[in-house]
Amino acid sequence: MGVLRESGSTRLTLSSLAAPTEVRDELLDAVRQTAGGEYEVFGEIARSQEGTIAYLARDRHDKKLVALRLTRGASEEYLLEVAKQLDASVPAPGTGCPRCDAPLRSWGRFCTKCGLDLWTGPALAPTGSQEEVLKAVKQAMAGKFEVLGEMSRAEGGGTVYFARDIATGKIEALRLRQERGQDYSIGLTGVLQRALTPPGQQPPPSDPPRHPK
């Protein structure tokens, strides 16, 4: 077992690492050099206003997704930590609520403006297994995004799927949420709307709720 996997954290300094071979993100290079033997580092998820950076990575041992949290200390020293779930310590992308478009900058379950439940609970409806839902997400993204896998939320349950934009390499978070009165379904976040809606057209309206018989 490697040092980072065993302890959950390690320290790095940019001055002690090899220089990048091409023009790119120096911090991402440093994280890949430090964690590359234990984790496949895909790219940045988000940055907090305080400067903490979250990177998406896959554990080379058990193949599960994790977040690598990079926090700057004194001078060129940084603390690199492993987060196996998405919690308040992991920076979240500043996306908008799919109902009211209010800015969302955390992994919180509910929109603070309109109260929309943004995430599913820990269990899916009986009609679909976790594997079937992941397969459906991959089919929806095919050709535009490479679905890398999922992570769970530490508070309130729910699953977050992560995908890589094939054209740009950017890492995006996809929400799976439950519509009112419906089975669990893929929530149409901005990323999914771009993937599923032809250019020049508006995203389709949500399906009307299905009332139980």
Confidence (pLDDT) at 85 = 93
- Could you give the CA distance from residue 81 to residue 3 in angstroms, rounded to a whole number? 11
The band of 41, judged by pLDDT with boundaries at 50, 70 and 90, is very high
The pLDDT score that the predictor gives to residue 107 is 87
pLDDT at 16: 58
pLDDT at 84 over 60: yes
Which has more pLDDT, 211 or 139?
A: 139
pTM (predicted TM-score): 0.77
Domain locations along the chain: 3-83, 95-196
Q: Which pLDDT tens digit goes with each residue over 147-192? A: 898 898 877 677 788 989 899 999 988 876 555 554 444 544 455 5
Q: Name which residue leads in pLDDT, 116 or 44.
A: 44
- Per residue, the 3-state secondary structure of the chain, as one string, reads CCHHHHHCEEEEEHHHCCCCCCCCCHHHHHHHHHHCCCEEEEEEEEECCCCCEEEEEEECCCCCEEEEEEEECCCCEEEEEEECCECCCCCCCCEECCCCCCEECCCCCECCCCCCECCCCCCCCCCCCHHHHHHHHHHHHCCCEEEEEEEEECCCCCEEEEEEECCCCCEEEEEEEECCCCCEEECCCHHHHHHHCCCCCCCCCCCCCCCCC
pLDDT (0 to 100) of residue 205 = 46
Confidence label for 67 from pLDDT (cuts 50, 70 and 90) = very high
Two tokens, residue 213: 């018989």
Nearest to 54 by CA among 175, 173, 176: 173
Percentage of residues in the chain with pLDDT exceeding 70? 70
| pLDDT band per the 50, 70, 90 thresholds, residue 91 | very high
Which range, 1-10, 57-66, 99-108, has the best average confidence (pLDDT)? 57-66
pLDDT at 154: 79
pLDDT in tens, 95-129: 788 789 888 878 887 888 998 877 654 444 444 56
Task: Tell me the C-alpha distance between 39 and 56, whole Å.
Answer: 10
Residues 6+ apart with CB under 8 A from 152: 85, 86, 122, 158, 159, 160
